[in-house]
Structure 1
Amino acid sequence: MKGWDLFALLALGAIWGASYLFFALGVRTIPPLTFVAGRLLIGAALLLLFRRVSSHKPAGDPPRGAFWVMGFFNAALPHTLVAWSEQTIASGIAGVLIATMPLWAAGMTAWMLREERPSRRQLAGLLLGFLGILVLLFPDLRRAAHHYIVGEGAVVLAAISYAAATVYARRALRGIPPVQAAIGQLLYGGLMVFPLSLILDHPWTLSPAPISIAALLALAVLGTAIAYVMYYRLLQRVGVVGISLVTYLNPIFAVLWGALWLGEPLSGWVLGGLVLILMGVFLAGR
């Protein structure tokens, strides 16, 4: 990997790691459903604009209903769970727990895609990553802090949702250009969340703080539209194996951003769980 590609990969990890910081700042005064709807629809609109002024043109329609499935499992559900959970848990912990996604994906692949059974190394990674989750959550389990455990469980469920969407996309979106797939899942996911936002949050009555509005715009522009463009360009340059390294970088930056900007503590349990999860992800991704 060349120096510029490595720099771009680090930048992408820093951007997506900061997404959890933006979530934490945004949901302080913007309800999770409204925050997620805004992020998805603004991101989809920006990517539509990008496709219009670039050479990325639609190349056929995906199977019927595929975008609805991806919009739910890869956008609407996990984003809402993460936004809701960060009302009670630290953004760094959310980033670490999301990093378990490849572990769940490996298990689902063995179950749903028989031709891609995990190796012994990957199974060891699954067990090691699960141990990391237990270490990370041990203080809350010991204190029986119910509201923390529920929030952390919501993020794990979001990681499982991302994993299910990834396995589904391997077949359902085969041959669909990545930018078109991204636009579809963001747009359809936003259309699912938006009516719930209108019914439950009454966004016209809200008075969000400037920092929350800035977090929403930063996440939509930087963490969605720009990050997707960076991702797809890097994918063409360094391939699937190279781009997958960003999965390992996200939680590291999530913990660092949370500590630097929100004063979130870096306890031994957090650091120990982080190390074990990253080791498990590395083994499962081999």
Structure 2
Amino acid sequence: MGCACARKHRGRRRRRADSARHGFVRSRRLTPQYEPDSRVAVPFYPALFFLAALWGGSFLFMRVAAPVLGPVWLIEVRVLIAGLVLLPLLAHRRQLSALRGHWRLLMWVGCLNAALPFTLLAYSSVYLTAGMTSILNATVPIFAALIGFLVYAEPLDRARGLGVVLGFLGVVVLVGTPHDGGVLPLLPIATGLAAAVSYVFAANFAKRRLMQVPALVFVTGSQLGAAVALLPLLPFFPPPQLPNMTVVSAVFALAVLSTSLAFLIYFQLIREVGPARTLSVTYLIPVFAILWGALLLGETLTLSMLLGGVLILLGVALANHRGFAGLWGRPPSR
């Protein structure tokens, strides 16, 4: 009897090991799996600020490259390079089979989580400053609370409702206040907000259909899926100009640093400290985007940007509910 039980347990362990080797580990999380890697440990605050600097830098790089290459070509190159950079790591972890097994779903999430929002933000970057575009991008948690209530029947308590109101009040301040003698163009504002909405639907799609997909498979597959989705559009949106070395450098930095490397750091932080503390990066990204824009492009921080940005980030904190828990280092609730 004891021998039979031992053989049974050994068989279960062997099956679990085989599943893990091929990237199909069972998980109860409602997000893509974060496979632990005990060989790598990063200090939390330096890594968090470095991640915010990378993602804040993405708005700088788009501001430099989007007017030259156009939004569609810029994002096609970005996601293609980012996906190809991550492929060798995926092969090293023996997770290519998971990528092949979920390619249809990853195509869908690649459209919602990369191709569409990246292109919309790149369009905004043609007309708006890096700091302004990053503030619009920071509205994702506000739209998540609103869409969760209206579409997915999720509860909206007073705190989250107040967060939604504050967030939209911040957008009104940004849009309705004159900047440099004129009002900001409405279409780039709208595309920046539409990108935030797309991220919300992508997150809900992933939560429902891609729970058991490892994080690296999710990121690599979504970037490559986005590249495939954008490919048919390239002939219809040719680059306005030929890129110089500054633009080429910005594109590679956007793809390798602000996409591939940033996602690796992001998921490593989630593995080590949990999602609540990691998501405090949301509050730092606009700060770095404004900083890079001011230092490298001579952009100015207007009073309306400051006031609107503060209102939006307060709304994000309330809509997140766990935003301040991330800031003050409490463990994430489970």
Tell me the SS of whatever aligns to 1:118.
coil
**1:112, distance to aligned residue in structure 2 (A):** 3.6
Residues 78 and 161 in structure 1, CA contact (< 8 A), matched pair in contact too:
yes
In structure 2, relative to structure 1, the CA distance for the partners of 1:266 and 1:87 (3 Å cut) is: same
In structure 2, relative to structure 1, the CA distance for the partners of 1:141 and 1:214 (3 Å cut) is: closer
Choose from 254, 269, 278 the match for 2:289.
254
Choose from 119, 131, 135 the match for 2:173.
135
Corresponding position: 1:282 with 2:317: yes
Corresponding position: 1:243 with 2:278: yes
The structure where helix makes up a greater share of residues is 1
Choose from 200, 204, 211 the match for 2:236.
200
Whole-angstrom CA distance in 1 between matches of 2:103 and 2:50 = 35
**1:63, distance to aligned residue in structure 2 (A):** 6.3
Tell me the SS of whatever aligns to 1:264.
coil
Corresponding position: 1:150 with 2:171: no
**1:156, distance to aligned residue in structure 2 (A):** 0.7
Residues 132 and 274 in structure 1, CA contact (< 8 A), matched pair in contact too:
yes
Residues 129 and 278 in structure 1, CA contact (< 8 A), matched pair in contact too:
yes
Choose from 47, 67, 71 the match for 2:110.
71
Partner amino acid, structure 1, of 2:276:
V
In structure 1, the residue matched to 2:205 is 168
In structure 2, the residue matched to 1:9 is 48
Summarize deviations over 1:159-189 as a string: whole Å, max 9, x none: 1111111122111111111111111111111
In structure 2, relative to structure 1, the CA distance for the partners of 1:62 and 1:283 (3 Å cut) is: farther
Whole-angstrom CA distance in 2 between matches of 1:140 and 1:164 = 32
Whole-angstrom CA distance in 2 between matches of 1:48 and 1:42 = 10
Residues 70 and 238 in structure 2, CA contact (< 8 A), matched pair in contact too:
no
**1:60, distance to aligned residue in structure 2 (A):** 7.5
**1:158, distance to aligned residue in structure 2 (A):** 0.8
**1:200, distance to aligned residue in structure 2 (A):** 2.0
**1:129, distance to aligned residue in structure 2 (A):** 0.7
In structure 1, the residue matched to 2:225 is 188
In structure 2, the residue matched to 1:232 is 267
Summarize deviations over 1:224-252 as a string: whole Å, max 9, x none: 11111101110100111011111121112
Residues 85 and 152 in structure 1, CA contact (< 8 A), matched pair in contact too:
yes
Tell me the SS of whatever aligns to 1:29.
helix
**1:88, distance to aligned residue in structure 2 (A):** 1.1
Summarize deviations over 1:135-167 as a string: whole Å, max 9, x none: 111225997747x22111110111111111112
TM-score by length of 1: 0.91
**1:28, distance to aligned residue in structure 2 (A):** 3.1
Corresponding position: 1:42 with 2:81: yes
**1:66, distance to aligned residue in structure 2 (A):** 2.1
Whole-angstrom CA distance in 2 between matches of 1:60 and 1:218 = 25
Whole-angstrom CA distance in 2 between matches of 1:3 and 1:60 = 27
Partner amino acid, structure 2, of 1:200:
F
**1:5, distance to aligned residue in structure 2 (A):** 0.7
Q: Quick one: higher RCO (CA 8 Å, sep 6+), 1 or 2? A: 1
Structure 1 residue runs of 4+, over 6 Å off?
60-64, 141-144
Summarize deviations over 1:37-94 as a string: whole Å, max 9, x none: 0000000001112222346565477767422221111111111111112111111100
In structure 2, relative to structure 1, the CA distance for the partners of 1:144 and 1:202 (3 Å cut) is: closer
Paired residues in the alignment total: 281
Q: Which runs of 5+ in 1 are unaligned?
A: none
Corresponding position: 1:266 with 2:266: no
Residues 176 and 183 in structure 2, CA contact (< 8 A), matched pair in contact too:
no
Residues 79 and 158 in structure 1, CA contact (< 8 A), matched pair in contact too:
yes
Whole-angstrom CA distance in 1 between matches of 2:297 and 2:180 = 25
Whole-angstrom CA distance in 2 between matches of 1:29 and 1:6 = 35
